[in-house]
Structure 1
Amino acid sequence: MSETKHGPGSKRAQRQADIAEYVLQQGSATAVDLAERFAVSTMTIHRDLDELERQRIVRKHRGGVSVQPSSIFESNVAYRMRSAVREKRALARRARELVEPGMAIMIDGSTTTLELARLLDDDIPLTVVTNFMGAINVLRDLPNIRLIALGGEWYRPHESFLGVPCLEAIDALRVDLLFASISAVSGGFTYHQEQEVVLVKQAMMRAARRSVLMVDHTKLDRVALHRVAPLPAWDLVLTDDAAPERTLQELRDQGIPYEVVPSEPG
């Protein structure tokens, strides 16, 4: 017999949604704590976590679960939306000052550049290219924006279009500025956890006359699985005032233009 909207399937789906929301808020949790909190067995919790991991909402580890990034796991968009918000907004304000009327700009699938998209609401004419559904939703009804949405394969964890069709669409374009973020910066290179995302970011850099990297301090002195590009490949690096001095010295040593942007007040 099929499950009704009030049946076991509905309850399981709601519990999994509640678990995801709780872990997103906390950053991590143990299976034992989750079993107590939701009044189910640890075996049930592990089945729920297996499903949430399959959806790439969380990552399991011994004894528990996390939504925090690692070298091979990028955080779910919902978690990233809550991370370093003040810093991202400050970087976006500075990035907005680089945008001039009539430009064609490209925005990658990051929550940092989403903050920039939210600032493109005045009357200057722009062409904006993006593969990020969040940015598409922000910009789609603005009369001054000529919006080019990059299609491709839908990747739910990133809420972005990726894959070969997306790469081909990017290769057919040329823009004035790319605004992008990254998961990790270390040793003179930028990194990301997932190959599909890396390929799109690299294609975007090739399509742009100038590339601006918007990276808050939480991503500095970290590594992820795949190299995206050496730091000198970026024309400007924007970071916040909590960036470690050793990273700033590294940028100076390599002659990379950078700016330290004061974070918004708490």
Structure 2
Amino acid sequence: MAEPIIETSHLTKSFKGFKAVDDISLRVEAESIHALIGANGAGKTTCFNLLTKFLRPSDGTIHFKGRDITSLKPDRVARLGMVRSFQISAVFGQLTVLENVKLALQRHRGESYDFWSSVRRLDHLRGRAMELLADVGLTDAADTPAAELPYGRKRALELATTLALDPEVMLLDEPMAGMGTEDVGRIADLIRSVSRGRTVLMVEHNLGVVAELCDRITVLARGGVLVEGDYATVSRDERVIESYIGGAQHA
């Protein structure tokens, strides 16, 4: 078995006695696309928050590339190469698409960024920013204010700003949330493209996307791991059908 790039051991998070994440031991292999799925309340987003240090675990450990990061702060984890996106698109609507990516590049390079300064100070980043926009199909929208983008293209811009941080691991929290069928297909293609040479760990409810994209799937239920494997394995598991697929049908 390949060495994991992310590994947790007995990871637990309790809130006033309620275990939102309960004794999760997770292995994510390098350069794979790995999904966390499960019904609402299964612990997926809490697990993401623990991995990226927005929450501190009640128990257990987290290792990244063999290093114990359990006690590190979020900014330190991001600088090590593990960067996440959120369910709600996080872009600066008043800035152009290109300016958003320039700011992300500036932050990655450790430069201070002052919103009151002329954006011409960032012109030296234009070349790389345009490359990233080409990667996500937004070259034609470079001078468009981000607020004017349709929802699916805003998510593409968020991918570009995430890539600007040059992550080894991208954690994507429901990247297809709120999208129509056409946008879902476009963003799935983008994730597949940008995952080359990187690791992607994603929370996703769209089982069609999970089946198409993911090498490995971990199904969570009540804060713990229910089953893990490829899509063919987990989709046949009676516990998954009852807990996740069946639950969704009756929701």
State the TM bucket, normalised to the shorter chain.
0.3 to 0.5
* Bigger Rg over Cα: 1
Pick 1 or 2: higher relative contact order, CA cutoff 8 A, min separation 6: 2
